Chains A and B, each alone.
Chain A
Amino acid sequence: MNTNLLIQLLVNGLIIGTLYGVVAMCFVLIYKSTQIVNFAQGEFLLIGAWVCWWLLTRWQLPFWIGFPVTLAFMMVFGVALQVIVLRPMIGEPIISVIMVTIGLSIFFSAMMKWIFGVWAKPYPEVFGTKAVNIAGLNVQTPYVMSMAISLLVMAGFAWFFKFSRLGLAMRATAFNQQVAQSLGISVKSVFAMAWAISAMVSALAGVVVGMVNGVSSALSFFGIKVFPVVILGGLDSIVGAILGGLIIGVLENLAEFVDSQYLNWGNLYTVVPFYALIIILMIKPYGLFGTKQIERV
């Protein structure tokens, strides 16, 4: 047994898991407040990463200007998406809502491929060294940064929902829309804010992944991997999203370990989360922390 490889993969799993956690958090945020399952979450990462890349390389902006501009753009984008596309969908059957976000996801990923091409493009160097050595393990600097950023984002989310006025309004809306409205909360703006925040934080995750692997259309795969994560954690639980992200990230890399050492099947890494998803749905459909509201039939 190759212990060194195992530990390396576990660390990888934890790092990628925090990123899954962040994306899943964004997904849960939208689901919790607007009851919409966002199949286009991965495209948020993709668009954010490409816009930031474009600002940094085409316009040669320094990172500390280009990144906030990206976030501002994503905020406008998220609000626009909610107002133009998702608002007319309120009250429509669930298949329509799902198909609208799937349609958006196809549209945006195709447009990104059209505008920026299909090949991965590297980010300009933002951090000095490529890899640091932590206890004998090679960890890429952007990964360390991504872990730190992810933890910061999670702390930020916790503060936002516990103490800020808007966060409390969002929780109230998620709890009961009519009551929230009667208390003077503008449900419309809460919906728009949920999409804006989700788009911004996803873009941040996209930029982080882009720095490590380069930007390419493969980024949108995060939007697909988010489903095992949120089903495991519970569709409407932020804590569950983080924990689910870590578990799926580690599980994936464990599968990679078993595959490379014993089975040699080749791509167990990509499918294991989906097997996990089916099993969870069969035995515990509301996940670890989700509200037990699913109707058994």
Chain B
Amino acid sequence: MATTSSALIPCGQYKTTYRKDTTIFPTPATRAVAVAALLLLCLAPLKIGGVELLGKYELNLLIQIGYYGIAALGINILVGFTGQISLGHAGFFGFGAFASAWLNNSFGVPVFWAIPLAGVLTTLVGLLFGIPAARIKGLYLAIATFAAQFILEDFFARAKWFTGGSAGTLAQPFSIFGYEVSGDHGYFYVVLAYVVLMYLLGTNLLRSRDGRAFIAVRDHYLSAEVMGIGLTRYRVLSFGISAFYAGIGGALFGHYLGYVSSEAFTILLSIQFLGMIIIGGLGSVMGTLLGTAFMVLMPEGIGALSRSVGGVFPALTDGLAFVKEGAIGLAIVLFLIFEPDGLAHRWKMIKTYWKLYPFSY
């Protein structure tokens, strides 16, 4: 799961300082492309000449990619960069959603502040669950977090004061300076702002001392400890940070839907999160976004396919929900067998190929 970015960069790029090697954008062109993509996304919900650039449906998908992407980045920091396995991330995601709604409904905290506060509360829960993680690792940690998922699900169904029990709870729409952001068009900017902020924070974290410590813990924990990296500290910290991201993602999810139900945060969602980062590429920030987009768009693609061939294969339309679910599992298995480094790796290969085309040697 090691990142092999440097090996794939073609000739002509000579890094002379460590600082240059760790920049987010290795060339001015990549930075220009990233800024251009961001500007294009800002234009997405606008109407130009009375024509909507993107319909409600496409905007909804982009928003989904946004909040799932934030949570997925968190889990990638935990799994892809620190090498800890968590099978209970839907629990953190759900906790963030409930915490934000709870802060808003019970204490009258404005939604604007409730979202980051929910992230902080989820961090505390993450640190709590990180304590066993400091004692066990690998397989045992996977099983422990698997159990935590069921315990949290049970907690959501039971804690009426917090989650509204099995009935669920209402989440108010986002508002800023007394102006209520309603509808997908406004909320898109909120999610976009959070995505940009969280991804910048995440990328910078991973370039820092702590980020390198995470990678050292993943690659060889004994050597890391010998070099003076506190294993317990960084394992628990990684859990906390990852829970923070999941909490923010969950809070955005809650205020988008306007209604949070404990049934949304099952083990399947946890597995989807892991699927996102495996498909995108473990230990790759950009891959996280690619994987999330894949995971969100694949079921929609299957839906579109079933509508077009539904007349020929009625069984496909009838069992669409199951086909979508099965496709998630199948995609994870196929990626692990045929492309274990994920879409990020494939993307790099394509880029390298075209950079040197047609004289690849």
Contact = CB atoms under 8 A, between A and B. Distances in A.
Interface of A: 37, 85, 88-89, 92-96, 98-100, 102-111, 113-114, 224, 227-228, 231, 235, 265-267, 270-271, 274-275, 277-278, 281-282, 285, 294-297
Contacts of B319: 113-114
Interface in B107-166: 132, 134-140, 142-144, 146-148, 150-151, 154, 157-158
Contact of A281 (B136, B231, B235, B278): B136
A103 B332 contact: yes
B151 A285 contact: no
A278 B149 CA distance: 11
A102 B139 CA distance: 13
Given A267-B157, A270-B154, A274-B147, A96 B336 contact: yes
Contact of B85 (A95, A100, A114, A231): A95
A295 B137 CA distance: 8
Nearest to A115: B319
A102 B157 CA distance: 25
Nearest to B155: A271
A95 B83 CA distance: 8
Interface stretch (B206-214, B246-254, B321-329): B321-329
A101 to B, nearest CB: 9
20 contacts: A93-B1, A94-B138, A94-B142, A95-B83, A95-B85, A100-B333, A103-B328, A103-B330, A105-B329, A107-B326, A111-B326, A113-B319, A231-B143, A271-B154, A274-B150, A275-B147, A275-B151, A281-B140, A281-B143, A297-B137
Interface string B59-92: 0000000000000000000010001010100000
B139 A98 contact: yes
Contacts of A265: 158
A102 B328 CA distance: 11
B340 interface: yes
Contact of A274 (B85, B87, B151, B232): B151
Is the contact region of chain A dominated by helix, strand, or loop, or is it mixed?
A: helix
B137 A110 contact: no
Nearest to B166: A266
B147 A110 contact: no
A103 B274 CA distance: 10
A275 B147 CA distance: 7
A267 B143 contact: no
Contacts of B278: 96, 99
Contacts of B134: 297
Category for how many chain B residues contact A: 35 or more
Interface of B: 1, 79, 83, 85, 87, 132, 134-140, 142-144, 146-148, 150-151, 154, 157-158, 221, 231-232, 235, 268, 271, 274-275, 278, 282, 315, 319, 322-323, 325-326, 328-333, 336-337, 340
Nearest to A268: B154
Contact of B139 (A37, A89, A104, A111): A37
A231 B140 CA distance: 9
Nearest to A295: B137
B132 A100 contact: no
Given A95-B282, A231-B143, A275-B151, A107 B85 contact: no
B135 A296 contact: yes
B119 to A, nearest CB: 25
B144 A89 contact: no
Contacts of A235: 139
Given A85-B337, A114-B319, A114-B323, A285 B147 contact: no
Nearest to B221: A297
A10 B336 CA distance: 44
A72 to B, nearest CB: 25
Given A113-B322, A271-B154, A278-B151, A94 B139 contact: yes
A152 to B, nearest CB: 30
A108 B147 CA distance: 22
A109 B321 CA distance: 12
Q: Which 5 A-B pairs give the minimum distances between C-beta atoms?
A: A106-B329, A107-B329, A110-B326, A103-B332, A114-B322
Contacts of A110: 322-323, 325-326, 329
Nearest to A281: B144
Nearest to A107: B329
Given A114-B323, A270-B154, 18 more contacts: A37-B142, A94-B142, A95-B1, A102-B271, A102-B329, A103-B271, A106-B268, A106-B271, A106-B325, A106-B326, A108-B329, A110-B326, A113-B322, A271-B151, A275-B151, A277-B144, A285-B140, A297-B137
Nearest to A235: B139
B268 to A, nearest CB: 7
